[in-house]
């Protein structure tokens, strides 16, 4: 069973490949909008200038042209920067695809190169976990020690965390709203109401600051566009005007609750992950959960420490064992026997042998033992000694 199942290995790497692609798509979209906007503005102004060229004093004309030149120069600068970013993202996509392509070159799970690749994957998964949890120093160290800059989505998570902290700590919707504006099309496709929630929160803050006239204007401008999907909530929001922030009436008290900011931050995280094809739970969780399940057996649950194998991750009672507590056991369609002495497989080539006291060991381990013990074998679990000839062969179909 030492062959590598490449399709399975690749199946879980979707986010790895898709994230730079999504980042690239957004960068190009952003450029497109910016270039359109700026060139349109400059074009329109030029038309104006041509129309009114005889009515303008030369200095006025010059200064208008200077304005246009500056605008285009700024655009060019921005484009040069974005071009760099785009090209780096493409390079990153290529490097990641190349890393996955290496899998085709490995023949068996015991190859040192394959094991090295797996170690790197573990580091990648850990870096993703660290970035998600905000353990930035640890993430940075892991990236540096493994030279994994192109395999970590540091910039994306930096963006996520900056907007989150703006929501949670500074209680400001600014960054989140401008992100929503940039990604309106994609958000509409997934029918996401994050923008509405943000607008609602700003409205609530205006009421909290006792700025009623501004709140009403704000609602007219920013809440009413959502009336076909969010009418009941808009109505409740308007009713909020009649309550004070210290109200104890449950639905309105909930609207004034400061905890809503954390809720907004969480919702933002969920939405941006969805857009970038990142799983809601870290890949580390998913791999550990399914891995522990696949390894968990009855023996791991036993209270008897003799049943535990020190190499089995689920038997690490203090750490992974606790994590595996609520997870399903592994399923087996066929028997799989392991010798307690050597840890090797017991099958037709190395059959299981039953000692008179019922304990079973592999033929090879008993034979080796009897060579040093003068034809006798000692059962490690019970301490009893028997003759090798007393062991009977077992047949497991």
| Residue numbers 131-160 binding another protein by CB under 8 A | 133-138, 141-142, 145
377 phi/psi in degrees, rounded to 5: -130, 150
317 phi/psi in degrees, rounded to 5: -60, -35
* Of 107, 95, 98, 100, residue with least CA distance to 8: 100
| Least Å from the CB of residue 285 to another protein | 6
If the CB atoms of residues 225 and 380 are measured against another protein, the closer one turns out to be: 380
Per CB under 8 A, contacts with another protein among 16-55 are 17-18, 21, 24-25, 28-29, 31-32, 35-36, 39-40, 42-43, 46-47, 49-50, 53-54
| Least Å from the CB of residue 78 to another protein | 10
| Least Å from the CB of residue 106 to another protein | 13
Query: With CB under 8 A, what is the number of residues at the site for another protein?
Result: 146
Q: How far apart are CA 366 and CA 385, in angstroms?
A: 12
Per CB under 8 A, contacts with another protein among 356-375 are 358-360, 365, 368
Q: Residue ranges of the alpha helices (H) in 53-193?
A: 58-101, 112-133, 136-146, 154-168, 174-182, 184-189
Per CB under 8 A, contacts with another protein among 311-330 are 311-313, 315-316, 318-320, 322-323, 325-330
Number of Cβ within 10 Å of residue 302's Cβ equals 12
* Of 26, 37, 125, residue with least CA distance to 82: 26
| Least Å from the CB of residue 147 to another protein | 15
If the CB atoms of residues 86 and 182 are measured against another protein, the closer one turns out to be: 86
Four-CA torsion 183, 187, 192, 194, nearest 10 degrees: 0
Per CB under 8 A, contacts with another protein among 53-72 are 53-54, 56, 58-59, 61-62, 65-66, 68-69, 72
Pick the piece of the chain touching another protein (CB under 8 A) from 168-176, 206-214, 219-227, 339-347. 339-347
Longest CA–CA separation in the chain, Å: 117
Q: Are 100 and 13 in contact (CB under 8 A)?
A: yes
- Our finding on whether 267 is near another protein (CB under 8 A) is no
Pick the piece of the chain touching another protein (CB under 8 A) from 180-188, 226-234, 260-268, 294-302. 294-302
- Our finding on whether 254 is near another protein (CB under 8 A) is no
Q: How far apart are CA 314 and CA 330, in angstroms?
A: 11
Per CB under 8 A, contacts with another protein among 97-136 are 97-98, 100-101, 103-104, 109-110, 118-119, 121-122, 125-126, 129-130, 133-136
- Our finding on whether 74 is near another protein (CB under 8 A) is no
Q: 27: part of which helix (H) or strand (E)? A: helix 14-52
Q: How far apart are CA 119 and CA 314, in angstroms?
A: 20
- Our finding on whether 350 is near another protein (CB under 8 A) is no
Q: How far apart are CA 268 and CA 192, in angstroms?
A: 10
If the CB atoms of residues 202 and 307 are measured against another protein, the closer one turns out to be: 307
* Among 200, 292, 388, 391, contact with another protein (rule: CB under 8 A): 292
If the CB atoms of residues 177 and 312 are measured against another protein, the closer one turns out to be: 312
DSSP string, 63-99: HHHHHHHHHHHHHHHHHHHHHHHHHHHHHHHHHHHHH
């Amino acid at each position: 069973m030492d062959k590598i199942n490449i399709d399975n290995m690749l199946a879980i790497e979707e986010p790895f490949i898709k994230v730079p692609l999504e980042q690239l798509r957004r960068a190009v979209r952003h450029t497109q909008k910016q270039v359109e906007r700026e060139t349109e503005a400059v074009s329109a102004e030029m038309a104006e200038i041509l129309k009114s060229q005889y009515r303008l004093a030369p200095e006025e004309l010059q200064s208008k042209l200077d304005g246009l030149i500056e605008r285009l120069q700024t655009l060019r600068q921005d484009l040069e920067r974005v071009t760099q970013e785009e090209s780096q993202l493409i390079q990153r996509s290529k490097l990641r695809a190349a890393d996955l392509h290496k899998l085709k070159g490995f023949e068996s799970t015991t190859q040192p190169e394959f094991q090295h690749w797996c170690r790197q994957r573990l580091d990648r998964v850990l870096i993703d976990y660290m970035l998600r949890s905000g353990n930035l120093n640890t993430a940075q160290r892991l990236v540096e020690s493994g030279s994994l800059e192109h395999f970590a989505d540091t910039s994306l998570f930096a963006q996520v965390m900056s907007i989150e902290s703006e929501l949670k700590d500074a209680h400001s919707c600014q960054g989140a709203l401008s992100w929503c504006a940039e990604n309106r099309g994609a958000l509409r496709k997934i029918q996401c109401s994050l923008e509405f929630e943000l607008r609602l929160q700003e409205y609530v803050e205006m009421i909290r600051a006792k700025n009623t006239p501004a709140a009403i204007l704000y609602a007219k401008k920013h809440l009413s566009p959502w009336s076909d999907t969010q009418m009941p909530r808009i109505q409740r929001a308007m009713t909020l005007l009649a309550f004070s922030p210290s109200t104890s009436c449950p639905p309105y008290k909930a609207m004034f609750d400061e905890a809503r900011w954390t809720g907004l931050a969480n919702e933002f995280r969920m939405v941006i992950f969805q857009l970038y094809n990142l799983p809601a739970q870290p890949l580390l969780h998913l791999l550990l959960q399914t891995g522990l399940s696949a390894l968990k057996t009855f023996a791991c649950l036993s209270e008897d420490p003799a049943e535990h194998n020190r190499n089995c991750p689920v038997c690490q009672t203090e750490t992974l064992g606790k994590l595996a507590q609520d997870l399903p056991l592994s399923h087996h369609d066929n028997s799989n026997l392991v010798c307690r002495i050597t840890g090797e497989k017991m099958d037709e080539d190395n059959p299981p042998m039953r000692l008179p006291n019922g304990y079973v060991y592999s033929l090879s381990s008993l034979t080796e033992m009897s060579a040093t013990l003068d034809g006798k074998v000692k059962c490690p679990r019970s301490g009893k000694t028997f003759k090798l000839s007393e062991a009977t062969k077992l047949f497991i179909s």
